[in-house]
Amino acid sequence: MRLLPQVLSLLLLLNPCCILSSAAAQSNQDNKKQLRDLQGRISTLQKDLAQKESSKNEAADALRDSERAISDIQRQLVKLAKQRQNVQTQLAQLQAQSAQLEQQISLKQAQLGQLIYHQHLTGREEHLPLLLKQQDPNALMRKLHYYGYLVRARSEHIDSLRDQMHELDALTKESLAKQRKLERIQQAQLSQKNRLEQEKTKRAALLAKLSEAIEQQRNEITTLRQDEQRLTELIAQINKLLAQRKAAAAAAAAAKQSSKSPRLRNEQLPDAGKQRGVFASLKGKLRLPVRGELVNRFGSPREGSVKWKGLFIRARGGNEVKAIANGQVVFADWLRGFGNLLIVDHGGDYMSLYGNNEAIYKRVGDKVKTGDTIAAVGNSGGNAETGLYFELRYQGKPFDPLTWAKIE
């Protein structure tokens, strides 16, 4: 929604000559209605946006679950890969053992062949002739012992080879079975990972779609808020001008009424060195710091909607400015809008301010007493009229000096 044409047309209402006209008032009412419509539309969009945000959060939660599952699967795959590597290492060791056993088997087969050969040479046919010939019994015993050794060695070789081959075969079968099992598990895990990756892609696409819709609505809300801000500023400007016109009329009436009555004039200055008690006890007893005519008073309207926060006392340039009470100078310098400004702290959170001076005679830290000359009247700070701007403040807030000072 674009409000530039309305803004341009409404800016024509800013002419003071017609700002109080019925047409301006009607336009202002139309603008306020348009503002309410804008605010209602923004509220509706925000509710819709909140619902989409909730859907986005649900999609994000689902995506999070998928990513967690994928992470778990990947962790399992790493674990399985390590297990598979261990199995492969075991298989390699078994294969090495198998090769070594094959060599041992070959060697033992050769040895067994030799044993059989020797057994053949010393076969049973030799025993009977040996006995019949009644050879030396010792020699006979040695031959028989050797023959028994050959028989036992052959039997032990055969049994050992048989056991080793059975053990190797069992280990090989077990390792191969474990490897096949791990491969099946890994294949299943990879399949599950692919499925979850597909789900993640699908949900990511959904999330992106929701984000795009939400971003579009956010942009629309931003545009509406900008329109709302421009319209609000325009209404505020119109109201400000209406208030200024009203204040100007009130100021003119006050000035007219003031011109009919004589202005106050101060002729008494603070008595030098005479102060009894703390500043708070001086209410109704103070003297204004300079002789002159009170042109502007506390609370009277200034330019626009600003009001005077003190007194402006018209006086001749160079006249002495007196301290209204005992205190210490806490500021003595030029300040925009106030010219050469001097501030005195009287204790108890009370301060007095003296502005638009031609010259300042005191410095920060100086002690002053009632009636001391602290400055000279001027028109510094760009003031068109010569005089003294005077304020009283309590805890930083200004109050009417005439409620504390006597004018004679």
- C-alpha distance from residue 119 to each of 109, 128, 355 (Å): 15, 15, 138
Torsional class of 191: left (φ above 0), alpha (ψ -120 to 50), beta (otherwise): alpha
pLDDT at 368: 95
* Residue pointed to by tokens 């078994």: 94
**133 and 277 part of one domain:** no
For residue 156, the model assigns a pLDDT of 76
DSSP-based three-state secondary structure for 334: strand
Residue 315 lies in a domain: yes
Does a structural domain hold residue 221?
yes
**CA 71/CA 197 separation, integer angstroms:** 11
Q: Does residue 166 sit in the same domain as residue 219?
A: yes
Same domain, 277 and 399: yes
| Domain identity same for 225 and 282 | no
Is residue 303 a part of any domain in this protein? Answer: yes
Statement to judge: residues 52 and 132 lie in one domain: yes
Tell me which of 208, 231, 254 is where a domain ends. Answer: 231
> CA 128 → CA 124, 133, 148, 354, distances in Å?
7, 8, 16, 153
Higher pLDDT, 171 or 198: 198
Do 194 and 332 fall within a single domain? no
Q: Are 305 and 241 in contact (CB under 8 A)?
A: no
Assigned domain for 278 exists: yes
Q: Coil, strand, or helix at residue 27?
A: helix
Contact (Cβ atoms closer than 8 angstroms) between residue 117 and residue 201: no
Confirm if 92 and 180 have CB atoms less than 8 A apart: no
- Using one digit for the tens of pLDDT, what is the confidence trace for 143-188? 666 666 666 776 776 777 677 777 778 777 877 887 888 788 888 8
Domain containing 31: what range? 25-231
H or E segment and range at residue 331:
strand 327-335
Domain boundary among 231, 255, 275: 231
Tell which of 205, 231, 257 closes a domain. 231
Give me the percent of the chain exceeding a pLDDT of 90.
24
* Whole-angstrom Cα Rg for the chain: 56
The predicted-structure confidence for 66-90, as pLDDT tens digits, reads as follows 667 777 777 777 777 787 788 778 7
Same structural domain, 59 and 195: yes
Q: Please report whether residue 8 resides in a domain.
A: no
pLDDT in tens, 298-351: 888 776 567 888 999 999 999 999 999 999 999 999 998 889 999 999 999 999
Within-domain flag for 1: no
Together in a domain, 219 and 321: no
Q: Which of the pair, 153 or 13, is modelled with greater confidence?
A: 153
Name the strand (E) or helix (H) holding 60.
helix 22-121
Tokens of 136: 């030396």
Does the predicted model carry a pTM greater than 0.85?
A: no
Residue 14 within a domain: no
Check whether residue 177 and residue 292 sit in a common domain.
Answer: no
Provide the token pair at 386.
Answer: 């010569």
Decide if pLDDT at 362 tops 90. yes
232 or 194, which is more confident: 194
Cα separation, 173 vs 186, in Å, equals 20
End-to-end Cα separation, the chain, in angstroms: 65
Are 224 and 279 contained in the same domain? no
Q: Under a CB-based contact definition with an 8 Å cutoff, are residues 20 and 213 in contact?
A: no
Same domain, 211 and 127: yes
- Kindly list the distances between the CA atom of residue 125 and the CA atoms of 51, 135, 141, in Å, as whole numbers in the listed order: 107, 15, 16
Q: Which residue has the higher pLDDT, 53 or 196?
A: 196
For residue 278, the SS3 value is coil
Check which CATH number belongs to the domain holding 173 and give it: 1.10.287.1490
Mean pLDDT across the chain, nearest whole number? 76
Give the total number of structural domains in the chain: 2
CB atoms within 10 A of CB 156: 11
The whole-angstrom separation of Cα 268 and Cα 239 is: 44
Closest by CA position to 283, among listed 399, 395, 388: 399
Give the CATH number of the domain where residue 314 resides.
2.70.70.10
Backbone angles phi, psi at 396, to 5 degrees: 85, -10
Quick one: 40 and 160 in the same domain? yes
